[in-house]
Amino acid sequence: MEDNNRRKFIKNVGIGAAAIGTAGLAGVLSSCKGQKQEEQAVKEEPKAKTIEWKMVTTWPPHSPMLGEGADKLAEWIEQMSGGRLKIKVYGGGELVPPLGVFDAVSQGTAEMGHGVAYYWAGKVPAAQFFAAVPFGFNAQNLNAWLYAGDGLKLWEEIYEKFNVKPFPAGNTGAQMGGWFNKKINSMADLKGLKMRIPGLGGKVLAKAGGNAVLVAGGEIYTNLDRGVIDATEWVGPFHDLQMGFYKAAKYYYYPGWHECGSALETIINKDAWNALPDDLKAIVETATYKANIWMISNFEAKNNAALRELIDVHKVQLMEFPESVLKEFKKLSLEVLEEIAESDPMSRKVYDSFLEFQKNIYEWNKIAEEPYQKLKHL
Ligand code: CA
What's the average pLDDT block by block, 10 residues per block, for the chain (378 residues)?
48 39 34 50 66 96 95 98 98 94 98 95 95 97 98 98 98 98 98 95 97 86 97 97 97 98 98 98 98 98 98 98 98 98 97 98 94 88
Q: Compute, in angstroms, the gap from residue 248 CA to the centroid of ligand 1.
A: 18
Q: Compute, in angstroms, the gap from residue 357 CA to the centroid of ligand 1.
A: 24
Q: Compute, in angstroms, the gap from residue 280 CA to the centroid of ligand 1.
A: 33
Q: Compute, in angstroms, the gap from residue 233 CA to the centroid of ligand 1.
A: 6
**How many Å apart are CA 180 and CA 273, to the nearest integer?**
45
Instruction: Return the pLDDT at 2.
Output: 46
Instruction: Return the pLDDT at 15.
Output: 44
Sequence length of the chain is: 378
Q: Compute, in angstroms, the gap from residue 49 CA to the centroid of ligand 1.
A: 41
Q: Compute, in angstroms, the gap from residue 20 CA to the centroid of ligand 1.
A: 37
Instruction: Return the pLDDT at 378.
Output: 86
Q: Compute, in angstroms, the gap from residue 362 CA to the centroid of ligand 1.
A: 24
Instruction: Return the pLDDT at 190.
Output: 98
Q: Report how far apart the first and last C-alpha atoms of the chain are (Å, whole number).
A: 37
Domain boundaries in the chain? 51-170+261-300
Instruction: Return the pLDDT at 39.
Output: 53
Q: Compute, in angstroms, the gap from residue 32 CA to the centroid of ligand 1.
A: 64
**How many Å apart are CA 101 and CA 118, to the nearest integer?**
12
Q: Compute, in angstroms, the gap from residue 199 CA to the centroid of ligand 1.
A: 9
Instruction: Return the pLDDT at 33.
Output: 46
Q: Compute, in angstroms, the gap from residue 117 CA to the centroid of ligand 1.
A: 13
Instruction: Return the pLDDT at 41.
Output: 52
CA dist 81 to 63, 154, 295, Å?
25, 28, 22
Q: How does DSSP classify residue 47?
A: P
> Within a 10 A sphere around the Cβ of 22, how many other Cβ atoms?
12
Instruction: Return the pLDDT at 11.
Output: 47
Q: Compute, in angstroms, the gap from residue 346 CA to the centroid of ligand 1.
A: 25
Instruction: Return the pLDDT at 14.
Output: 44
Q: Compute, in angstroms, the gap from residue 283 CA to the centroid of ligand 1.
A: 30
**How many Å apart are CA 364 and CA 42, to the nearest integer?**
57
Q: Compute, in angstroms, the gap from residue 327 CA to the centroid of ligand 1.
A: 20
Q: Compute, in angstroms, the gap from residue 204 CA to the centroid of ligand 1.
A: 14
CA dist 194 to 73, 123, 227, Å?
37, 26, 9
Backbone angles phi, psi at 268, to 5 degrees: -130, 135
Instruction: Return the pLDDT at 376.
Output: 85
Instruction: Return the pLDDT at 37.
Output: 54
| Cβ(366)–Cβ(146) below 8 Å | no
**Extended strands (E) in the chain:** 51-57, 85-90, 112-115, 164-171, 178-180, 194-196, 211-213, 231-232, 251-254, 263-269, 317-320
Query: What superfamily in CATH does domain 51-170+261-300 come from?
Result: Bacterial extracellular solute-binding protein, family 7 (3.40.190.170)
Q: Compute, in angstroms, the gap from residue 112 CA to the centroid of ligand 1.
A: 24
Which amino acid appears at position 181 of this protein? N
Q: 164-171 and 263-269 as β-strands: parallel, antiparallel, unpaired? A: antiparallel
Q: Compute, in angstroms, the gap from residue 370 CA to the centroid of ligand 1.
A: 25
Q: Compute, in angstroms, the gap from residue 175 CA to the centroid of ligand 1.
A: 6
